[in-house]
Amino acid sequence: MTGYLKAGWSWSRNENSMRSTLPFRLLLTACAFGLALPQAPAQPQSEIPLHSVRGPDVTLHYVSVGRGQPVVMVHGGLEDYRAWMDQLAPLASHYRAIAYSRRYNFPNRNETRAAPSYSAQVDADDLAMLIEKLHLGPVHLVGHSYGGLGALLFATEHPELVRSLTLSEPPVFPWVKKQSGGAALVQDFFRRCWVPIRRAFARRKREEVLAIASTYFTGNPVMPPAARDALKPNLKEWEVLTVSDIPFPVPSMKLIKEFHAPLLLLTGDHTLPVLERCVAALTERFPESERVVIPNASHDMWSETPQKCGVALRKFLREKRGAF
């Protein structure tokens, strides 16, 4: 849910695209439900073209590198496409790697829908639009946290468009609530984090939102200025999501039974108990899925241990599709 950004940005705009100058592997730790600020070595600079695709009521910005079977990556809450910078270069040597920003995340400037209608289902519909507009055909889909929830919904609704699915701890809370002791964990998240954040937004206390989230996930309300500055452009997402009627939708069992693509589940060995339960719920419903535990990682695994996560992802893709 957090971000830590050390980069300068320069934008040149035209009707269909933008170009950003930034370190190719951006120091950005961001996730939907965890706060971690690992250090990373300096990286060489590279220019990455930033493009856009337009739907009836939404514009989504994305980056695309490499050639081959498409790998589409969906970031977590309060993140944006930059969360995947560490993965682009390794994937690009054998795949077309695409990372995009979801509807209300940087640098998109989409109008806010009637708040109760926004959820991961909207993200799934937006993803379907992006894949159709870019003529991607069947894709390898990777989704982290809340982005993983949208990816899961899309994959089960459009199985013919999915070559493989990789999910890292999507918040499938309705399933967790059915587990023994699971309801208490979900209620604790809403009581100490989700509801206070919604109330802070209602009071227009945006700085308080970050303090609440940081306290819940790390026990410390103080966030480094760089992390705070990186998160602010994506606060609109949670402002809309926290008043949604159905913030955490899950697919029906009928759709789950009709999904047969290879599925990889990633989880950090130091993640939150409620998210451990999410992975367990997914394993129960997708018994043929593969599960990889990332050592020395929390929910923010893609930022804390990008190499380990990347190796696990590419190994899975290689074994399931013989890409490399």
Is 5 a member of any domain? no
Is 158 a member of any domain? yes
CATH number at residue 196: 3.40.50.1820
Looking only at the bridges linking them, the beta strands covering 96-100 and 70-74 are parallel
CA distance 280 to 275: 9
Residue type for 236, please? K
pLDDT the model gives residue 38:
33
DSSP secondary structure string for all residues of 56-114: SS-EEEEEEES-SSEEEEE--TT--GGGGHHHHHHHHTTSEEEEE--TTSTT--PPPPP
Is 110 a member of any domain? yes
Q: Which domain holds residue 254?
A: 11-321
CA distance 172 to 94: 32
What are the per-10-residue average pLDDT scores of the chain (324 residues)?
32 33 32 38 58 96 98 96 97 98 97 80 98 97 99 99 98 99 98 98 94 87 86 94 95 98 98 97 98 96 97 96 50
Is 2 a member of any domain? no
* Cβ count near 74 (within 10 Å): 34
CA distance 264 to 195: 31
Q: Let me know if 178 is exposed, middle or buried by CB neighbors in 10 A (0-12, 13-18, 19+).
A: exposed
Put simply, whether the predicted model's pTM sits higher than 0.75 gets the answer yes
Is 1 a member of any domain? no
Q: How many domains does the chain have?
A: 1
